[in-house]
Amino acid sequence: MLKINLLNMKMKNPLMLASGVLDLTKKSMEKFKDAGAVVTKSIGKEERKGYKNPVFFETECGILNAIGLANPGIDNYLKEIEDIKIDNLIGSVFGKEADEFLFVAKKFSRYVKAIEMNMSCPHAKKLGAEFPDEEIKDAVEKVKEAGKPTFVKISAENSLRRAGLAIEGGADGIVAINSVRAMAINIEVKKPVLGNIFGGYSGKAIKPIGVRCVYEIAKNFDLPVVGVGGITNARDVIEYMMAGANAVQIGSGIYYRGEKIFKEICKDLERWLEKNGYSRIEDIVGIAIKK
C-alpha cells in the first residue's frame, strides 16, 4: 500500500529522513530504518567547521538554525558510512562550483542510490541558495557524470526558475523546499539570537510555503518531486502528495515527535488510505492539481 518506486529506489514507504537531521554518523542514521530512504548530511569536498554558537533557537512556532554546513569532508565521511545498513541512502552534496559538486558526487557514487544537490541552504555564503542561477545547469550536468540519479534541492525563493534551470541540466527530480532564511532578536540583550545572525527557519509554519512550491513545480514540470517543510503527521504527508509530491522528507518533525515518527506516520497513512478507498498511496499524487 505504501510502497513506491522513485527513480532507481524501491521504497517501502514515501518517507525520507531529510538532510541535516541526525545523519552525521552511521549509528544515528541506522535508527531510521522505518523510513523509505535516508538523506545524508550535506557533505563538501573538505572539512567545514560551520558557525559559532548559538546555532539553534526554538521560536514559538518553529526552529531557527545556522549550522553553516559543518561537515567532516567527503573522505572522512565515507569512512563513517562504510557498510551502513540503510537500503536507500541518498548522498547530499554541496559546492561552490560545478567541479566541486562533481568531485563529491563521484566519491559518494558507490555508497549511495542517488545524489541530492544542496542548492538551497539559506545561510551559507556563496553556497546553497546563493549558488548562482547561471551556473545551475552546468553544475547539474557535471554531477550527472557521477552516474547516479540526481535530485536538486531548491529553496522557496525563485523556486520555479531554479527548478527549471536544474531540469535543463538533466536533473532527475526536484526537492522542495529547504528551510527559509530568517532571524530572531533577543530583546533583553538587544542582539540576534544566532551567532550567524541569519539562519534557516523550519517547522509547521513553513508547510504552506512548501506545499505551494511543490504544487507549482509539479504542475509545470513532468518529473518526480519530493516535498519538504513542516511535516509532522500523516495529513501533512497527504497534503504534499496531493499537491504533486511523489515522496516527502521529514526533519524538524523528529524534534517534535521523536524517532518513531516514521513508523507512526506510516500506520496513520495506511488507515487513511483504507478509510478513503485507496489501495496505493501513489494514487493520491497530484490529484489536487488543476491541469
pLDDT tens-place string over residues 99-144: 999 999 999 999 999 999 999 999 888 899 999 999 999 999 999 9
Q: Indicate which residue of 61, 121, 213, 266 is catalytic.
A: 121
- Kindly report the average pLDDT of the chain as a whole number: 96
pLDDT tens-place string over residues 71-106: 999 999 999 999 999 999 999 999 999 999 999 999
Phi-psi group of 126: left, alpha or beta (phi > 0 → left; psi -120 to 50 → alpha; rest → beta): left
Q: Give the pLDDT confidence score for residue 291 in this predicted structure.
A: 58
Active-site residue 121, yes or no?
yes
Q: Give the pLDDT confidence score for residue 90 in this predicted structure.
A: 98
Domains parsed from the chain with CATH numbers: 4-47+72-180+204-284 (3.20.20.70)
Q: Give the pLDDT confidence score for residue 126 in this predicted structure.
A: 80
Q: Give the pLDDT confidence score for residue 272 in this predicted structure.
A: 98
Grid coordinates representing 199? Answer: 539562519
pLDDT tens-place string over residues 262-283: 999 999 999 999 999 999 999 9
Q: Give the pLDDT confidence score for residue 124 in this predicted structure.
A: 87
Distance (Å) of CA 127 to CA 123, 124, 133: 8, 5, 12
pLDDT tens-place string over residues 145-193: 999 999 999 999 999 999 999 999 999 999 999 999 999 999 999 999 9
Q: Give the pLDDT confidence score for residue 290 in this predicted structure.
A: 78
Distance (Å) of CA 63 to CA 118, 140, 186, 188, 226: 20, 30, 15, 20, 21
Q: How far is CA 231 from the centre of its chain?
A: 12
Whole-model pTM: value is 0.96
Mean pLDDT within 29-38: 97
